[in-house]
Structure 1
Amino acid sequence: MNPDRLQRRILDWYRASARDLPWRRPPGSSAPVDPYRIWLSEVMLQQTTVAHATPYFHAFLGRWPTVTALADAEDSEVMAAWAGLGYYARARNLLACARAVRDRFQGRFPETEAGLLGLPGVGPYTAAAVAAIAFGEPANVVDGNVERVISRLYAVQAPLPAARPQLRELAAGLVVAEAPADWAQALMDLGATVCRPRSPACGQCPAAGDCAAEASGDPGAWPRKAPRGARPARTGVAFVLRQAGRIAVVQRPPRGLLGGMLGLPSTDWTEAGPDPAAITDAAPAALAWRDAGAVEHVFTHFSLTLTVLSAEGGAPGLEWLPETSAGDLPSVFLKAVRRAQGMSGAE
């Protein structure tokens, strides 16, 4: 492999084929970049695709056009706007970071990778991405796309995730100091559009001829992956209490899964499942609860079967949400509401 030739070919390819993304400046441009837009897009993209994240990105910028505006927002508003983008812990970290930038740095992001790493919720990848793309620091930006590109270029035999230190070291050796923003985004685009997880388009790749995985005849065999264990299965009970077009809701604890979000009253979600006493204790009111069936939901680390119990009536001390706003609930609870509504419609 000739590193200089490889870098030149990848950068030429990127400058001719770069994706048009709303948070990105054109390749080779020296126009200023708003680090808020880069940071916001990178946080959103950690668990979803560009196509899915883009409308959320526009919506966030429309409501909170600066990091200070986001820092001043109510937690509940940001959590609701985040629904559908993955773990709500990321939304909590988003707010914590925005408020740190407002309070500690007068609304201006630190301009170095080391400084960015000092912000709450900012890990090595996000710090490197913002430093390279927004501030032109030759940082080593390695996401899942870049891992795949590097693992194929060098035919790294160690499986993920154990291979990550080696992949980072190899990627660091290719960073282009004169064009760090273009280089970081070029590798991301290469992995997203050409060096795809399945059916890589080697015939369109600027690294063709320098890629060890291509030379093997089976580039899709990289990156190597360790066998995955079975996803644990948990069960629980959710309560859909309805009264006059409203649904009883609770605010979940600030930490943990779906932390800080509005949800349905429910038992804990455990592999053993709740016992009758736990179901009675978790019920928001002593009413005639009817079994509405069950819903299935898959989280990253476990699958959930949620039995839905439905009733109509009221109880003191409950918070209520209009049924027409049920779409604001996390999807697992929306499924439960829809299940209860379907049961009621059949009666």
Structure 2
Amino acid sequence: MLDWFDVHGRHDLPWQHPRTPYRVWLSEIMLQQTQVRVVVPYFERFVASLPSVAALAAAPLDAVLGLWSGLGYYARARNLHAAARACVGLHGGDLPRDFDALLALPGIGRSTAGAILAQAWGDRFAILDGNVRRVLARYHGVEGWPGQPAVQKRLWEFAQQHLPASRLADYTQAQMDLGATVCTRHAPACSACPLRPGCEAHAQGRTAELPTPKPTRALPTREAVLLLMRDAEGRMLLQRRPPAGVWAQLWSLPEAADEEAARAWFEGHVDGDYAQAEALDPVAHVFSHYRLTMHPRRWRAVASAAAVRDNEDLRWVPRDALAALGIPAPVRTLVQAQFESEQEQET
């Protein structure tokens, strides 16, 4: 693995230069369920604005979510911010070089803690992210979905057994690189794999079957009505979402479960006519646990927005302020499209 990594591994990732505990931690959180090519620009922008644990802890959550906006899985950003504050309060503003202390921080599980210790300090800890699970399941011919506790326990045992005596940072990166570039989920490049001679899945012609996929089920569907409202200055009304649930604490458009609830919200906040709303094309978005269809309703300009004033949960936002807020990607796209459409009409 290390010989292969020296020739074929990734050596120029931004979090490797310099490879500090903070940069390793941030990259590991961003890389959860997200590909490297997507993460790189977000990582560079994030560390340029918040270059240390202390800077992250001192930043308002809105600023953190704004930097994260578009990367998805926003609980990662909220946990990152909470963990940074815990580091300031409990560990002198640094990430602790202790497995149990890392594991106690929000958003850090066993694999992430191991990755931080191995890559930042060269300590001898195993990891078991998605790429490594796939490599180990194929190499050892492990049956069963890796999310099952018994299967996961076996994979952790193998991960620990394979740890080298030195070069832990390189070995950790090598495992991730092999899974991402060679032992891929679909059409793995077995001819280029350094583990092929001992791989059970390759020997048995079962690379397409292993690891065992997660049992599938049909995703439930939900509907929502979004309210796009502009004031006399052309600003868009955004509402902060609740502290728990989907898109927690992000800024989004006012939302209601159905048309009746949307009308009630409008009439309770705005001196205008709900019937003047223009129905825009539905917007579909798929979460890990359900499918959401959003039905936008637009008013070119509300007659009077006096009843809606800026507060902690409602804010009139001009176009040039959108980038600083954490806004769900599909909602940001919808809002920006409305600004651009109306600007074109004005010109």
Q: Normalization by structure 2: what TM-score?
A: 0.87
CA distance in 2, matches of 1:236, 1:246: 22
8 A contact 1:292–1:340 mirrored in 2: no
Cα pair 1:294 1:339 within 8 Å, conserved: no
SS at match of 1:172: helix
In structure 1, what residue type is equivalent to 2:249? G
Q: Which residue of 2 aligns with 1:331?
A: 329
Q: Which moved more, 1:56-65 or 1:280-289?
A: 280-289
Match of 1:296 among 280, 284, 306: 284
Match status 1:322 vs 2:318: yes
Q: 2:248 aligned with 1:259, yes or no?
A: yes
Task: Give 1:33 deviation, angstroms.
Answer: 3.7
What code does the residue aligned with 2:262 have?
I
| 1:159 Cα offset (Å) | 2.4
CA distance in 1, matches of 2:227, 2:334: 8
Instruction: Give the 3 Å change call, closer, same or farther, for CA 97–203 of structure 1 in structure 2.
Output: same
> What residue in structure 1 maps to residue 145 of structure 2?
159
Structure 1 distance, partners of 2:107, 2:145, is 27
Q: Tell me the distance in 2 between the aligned counterparts of 1:96 and 1:338.
A: 30
**2:1 is aligned with 1:13:** no
- Deviation of 1:293 (Å): 3.2
Structure 1 equivalent of residue 158 of structure 2: 170
Residue 210 of structure 1 aligns with which residue?
198
The aligned residue for residue 4 of structure 1 is none
Q: Secondary structure at the match of 1:159?
A: coil
CA deviations over 1:225-283 (Å, ceiling 9, x no partner)? 13310111110100000123211111112222111111111114xxxxx262x222232
1:114-154 deviations in whole A, cap 9, x for unaligned? 22112122111211110111122211111000000000001
Is contact 1:112-1:135 (8 Å) kept? no
- In the alignment, residue 237 of structure 2 is paired with which amino acid? A
- Quote how far apart the aligned CAs of 1:343 are: 8.3
* Conserved 8 A contact 1:101-1:108: yes
Does 1:250 find its partner at 2:233? no
Shift of 1:326: 4.7
**Does the CA contact (< 8 Å) of 1:249 and 1:263 recur in 2?**
yes
1:221 aligns with 2:209: yes
Structure 2: how far apart are the matches of 1:78 and 1:251? 15
- 3-state secondary structure, aligned to 1:293: coil
- Report Cα offsets for 1:78-120 as digits up to 9, x if no partner: 1111001112211111111111111211112111222211212
- Residues 111-120 or 92-101, more deviating: 111-120
Q: Root-mean-square deviation (CA), in Å?
A: 2.2
1:77 counterpart residue number: 63
Aligned to 1:7: none
Distance 1:117 1:202, change over 3 A: same
Q: Does 1:46 align with 2:32?
A: yes
The percent identity for this pair of structures is 38
Q: Which amino acid in the other structure matches residue 195 of structure 1?
A: C
Partner of 2:16: 24
Distance 2:171 2:105 in 1: 24
What is the distance in 2 between the residues matched to 1:190 and 1:53?
18
CA contact (8 A) 1:309 1:340 kept: no
Partner amino acid, structure 2, of 1:13: W
Corresponding position of 2:115: 129
Corresponding residue pairs, total = 326
Q: Matched residue of 1:304: which SS?
A: strand
Deviation at 1:47, TM superposition (A): 2.7
Compute the displacement of 1:298 (Å). Answer: 1.6
Taking the aligned partners of 1:326 and 1:22, their CA distance within structure 2 comes to 27
Q: Once structures 1 and 2 are overlaid, which stretch shifts more, 231-240 or 168-177? A: 168-177
Evaluate the alpha carbon distance shift between residue 93 and residue 282 of structure 1 in structure 2; reply closer, same or farther with a 3 A threshold.
Answer: same
SS in 2 for 1:167: helix
Whether 1:198 aligns to 2:186 is yes
AA partner of residue 156 (structure 2): R
SS in 2 for 1:220: coil
Contiguous gaps of at least 5 residues in structure 2 = 310-314
Gapped regions of structure 1 (runs ≥ 5): 1-9, 26-31, 269-273
Q: Is 1:115 aligned with 2:101?
A: yes
Q: Structure 1 pair 262/122, CA: closer, same or farther in 2 (3 Å)?
A: same
The match for 2:222 is 234
Partner deviation per Cα, 1:290-344 (whole Å, 9 max, x = no partner): 3223211122221111111111212423320113555653223234436756987
